[in-house]
Amino acid sequence: MVNIYNPKDIVLTYDGMQITGFADDSFVTVSKNTDDYSHKVGVKGEVTISVDADETGTVTISLDQRSPFIRIFNRMIKEGKYTNNILRPLTMIDMGENGDDISSDAYIVKRADNEYGRASGNVEYQFVVMEI
């Protein structure tokens, strides 16, 4: 069996806009903020498994330094401080065979750090997603 991966099958939108201008390598990382389950063992060996109700996660994207979304995201962050409108819909659709989709409200943690050099660099934005 042959599997085919195409990064063009990953579609990421924030506040209804399809994000473009990704970096040249790994461009999206999705992480859950907590473990789904934890356990403890009593002094006599009884095991209790707990289900963690925290469904939040983090989506980190890497953009090329010249992506138009750097200006858009920075403007959203600045406006959010004055309007309290920081939660916006984030959707990630993987159209591949083993796709894992996300559709939830999210906010951008902070402005990306800037770095300038000989060639165009990469910048990262981190989104906290309410439900992974």
Supply 90's token pair. 């984030």
Mean pLDDT of the chain: 92
Q: Which amino acid is at 114?
A: N
- More confident site: 106 or 96: 106
Residue 84 has what DSSP assignment?
-
7-32: pLDDT as tens digits: 899 999 999 999 999 998 889 999 99
Which pTM was predicted? 0.88
Per-residue model confidence as pLDDT tens digits over 25-69? 889 999 999 999 999 999 999 999 999 999 999 999 999 999 999
Q: What amino acid is encoded at 117 in this protein?
A: G
What pLDDT was estimated at residue 119? 86
- For residue 10, the SS3 value is strand
pLDDT the model gives residue 40:
97
Instruction: Give 85's pLDDT tier (boundaries 50, 70, 90).
Output: confident
What pLDDT was estimated at residue 5? 84
